[in-house]
Amino acid sequence: MINYSFKKFLRSFDKKEKITLFIAVVVFLSAIFGKNIYLKITNTPMQPRDGGEFTEGILARTDREVEKSFNNLVNFSLLYLDENMTIQNGLASSYEIFDGGKKYLFTLKDGINAKELTPIFNAHTKIKNNSIKAETTDDNKLQITLEKIYTPIIYYFTEPIYPYGPYKVASKTPESIELIRNERFVLHSPYIEKIKIKIYRNLSNLEKAYRAQEVNSALNVFEQNNANKYILELQKRAVFFFNLEQIQDKNVRTKLKNNQNINGSLEINLTVLDTPTLFEKAQKIKEQFAPLGATVNVQTINQDDFNNLVLSDRLYQTLLVGIDFGRDPDPYPFWHSSNITADGQNYSQYFNKKIDRMLEDSRLEIDNNKRQAIYSQIEEIVNNDAPVIQYEKEKLEYFVDKKIKGILVNQGITESDRFSNVWNWYIKEERRK
């Protein structure tokens, strides 16, 4: 009956009215469904999905430089440092500390065999004036024992030395390396399926390839409209050491450190290793000190003489060196009086009994936050004594095609740390509820 009435209703319209009615119904339905589709699109965020590949260009003159440049792609660590230098669990799901800090027992994640890690750790990890040994207590338990308590050891566990990285080598030639996802990686599988690394022996060729978009990413090239720039701050910096036996006036040191006029005149001999980077920095210091009343004579020296004469006998008035502070922020090597000797790094020959005690205590403090607090107190006292001038940390510019997303780059130890969260990088994406 309803069907008959509807047909009778339609027959009451002429052809033109039927067309108008049809169009109205289509518009109405389109509005309803279109709104639903629009709401679904706008309310459903884009999410990374698997797939895609990119090409990284690297500047490397030796095979060792090649390996170092992508180490973080193929290796992983018991613990790891994220882009903010915060310690996270890596191959280990947890760890416990025993015997006051002499023993560390790591419980490994599923699929990780402690017997495979043990010889790698023992071959790779050394600590000055301390013995350290790894052994297995179970297939998924790795125990590391030190002869003496050394709490900064925790940072040694963040070095990527085990072949459990997010990617593995699929093929390799002198000119390129192809990486694919590593099924043994313990965090989630990387989104990006494949990474190709092209090797260039000089900067000019790398820049040409980058300009021609033959590579999607590279360090220290130049900005392009299709690329994002990321800054990787390393734990390396140039450090100007005053030999305190020769420049004893704390007031003068402090004023030079603070870029203030010394209200007099002073002639300074600055010894520097004969490398382009350090020599350039020495020239800038010379220019910076001149209007402050200090004349700087820059004395360059080759590596052999630098090690055998300058450092061993402390034959310098001031010294400019590049310091790689590495993973371990322990300041003991630079300020403890035991390192004033020829093989130590206390290049200022700085001596402070209170600092010695604090440095010794810091190496016994298991609680990381408390240890960092001691470091801060040490830094404040040392800065007040002005034995050194520390310049800004080395920064690398990393340019990456805008199609690659999810990148987090901030701080690192080596240039390979630009890949510190590479498993979260992605190219392809989709909408998911």
The rounded distance, in Å, linking the Cα atoms of 407 and 413 is 17
pLDDT-derived band at 342 (thresholds 50, 70, 90) equals confident
Mean pLDDT value across residues 242-259: 96
Mean pLDDT value across residues 332-349: 93
The rounded distance, in Å, linking the Cα atoms of 160 and 76 is 4
Residue 339: inside a domain:
yes
pLDDT at 121: 96
Single-letter code of the amino acid located at 220: N
Q: How many CB atoms lie within 10 A of CB 273?
A: 20
pLDDT-derived band at 97 (thresholds 50, 70, 90) equals very high
Please check whether residue 403 is in contact with residue 224, taking contact to mean a CB–CB distance below 8 angstroms.
Answer: no
Distances in whole angstroms, Cα of residue 48 to Cα of each of 18, 138, 246, 375, 414: 48, 38, 60, 40, 27
H or E stretch including 40? helix 15-43
Please check whether residue 32 is in contact with residue 125, taking contact to mean a CB–CB distance below 8 angstroms.
Answer: no
Q: How many domains in the chain? A: 1
Residue 206: inside a domain:
no
pLDDT at 139: 86
- Tell me the per-residue pLDDT of 173-226, one tens digit each, with 9 for 90 and over: 999 999 999 999 999 999 999 999 999 999 999 999 999 999 999 998 888 889
Q: How many CA atoms lie within 13 A of 407 on its CB side?
A: 22
pLDDT at 234 over 80: yes
pLDDT-derived band at 35 (thresholds 50, 70, 90) equals low
Residue 41: inside a domain:
no
Domain that holds residue 366: 245-386
Residue 273: inside a domain:
yes
pLDDT-derived band at 303 (thresholds 50, 70, 90) equals confident
pLDDT at 8: 58
Closest CA to 88 of 406, 405, 408: 408
Q: Which has more pLDDT, 35 or 114? A: 114
pLDDT at 12: 63
pLDDT-derived band at 24 (thresholds 50, 70, 90) equals low
- Tell me the per-residue pLDDT of 106-135, one tens digit each, with 9 for 90 and over: 999 999 999 999 999 999 988 888 999 999
- Tell me the per-residue pLDDT of 36-82, one tens digit each, with 9 for 90 and over: 555 555 666 788 999 999 999 999 989 899 999 999 999 999 999 98
Q: How many CB atoms lie within 10 A of CB 68?
A: 15
CATH code of the domain containing 367: 3.10.105.10
pLDDT at 430: 86
Kindly write down the DSSP assignment for every residue of 134-197, as one continuous string: EEEEETTEEEEEESS--GGGGGGGGS--BS--SEEEEEE-SSEEEEEE-TT-SSPPPSS-EEEE
Mean pLDDT value across residues 152-179: 96
**Per mean pLDDT, which range of 160-174, 325-339, 385-399 is the poorest?**
325-339
Residue 432: inside a domain:
no
Which DSSP state fits 422?
A: G
End-to-end CA distance of the chain: 44
For the chain, the average pLDDT equals: 90
- Tell me the per-residue pLDDT of 252-289, one tens digit each, with 9 for 90 and over: 999 999 999 999 999 999 999 988 999 999 999 999 99
What number of H helices and E strands is found in the chain?
13, 19
pLDDT-derived band at 331 (thresholds 50, 70, 90) equals very high
Mean pLDDT value across residues 317-340: 92
The rounded distance, in Å, linking the Cα atoms of 144 and 105 is 6
Residue 191: inside a domain:
no
Please check whether residue 385 is in contact with residue 249, taking contact to mean a CB–CB distance below 8 angstroms.
Answer: no
This model's pTM is above 0.75: yes
Residue 40 burial class via C-beta count within 10 angstroms: exposed 0-12, middle 13-18, buried 19 and up: exposed
Please check whether residue 320 is in contact with residue 240, taking contact to mean a CB–CB distance below 8 angstroms.
Answer: yes
Residue 311: inside a domain:
yes
Pairing, β 217-219 against β 227-242: unpaired
Residue 265: inside a domain:
yes
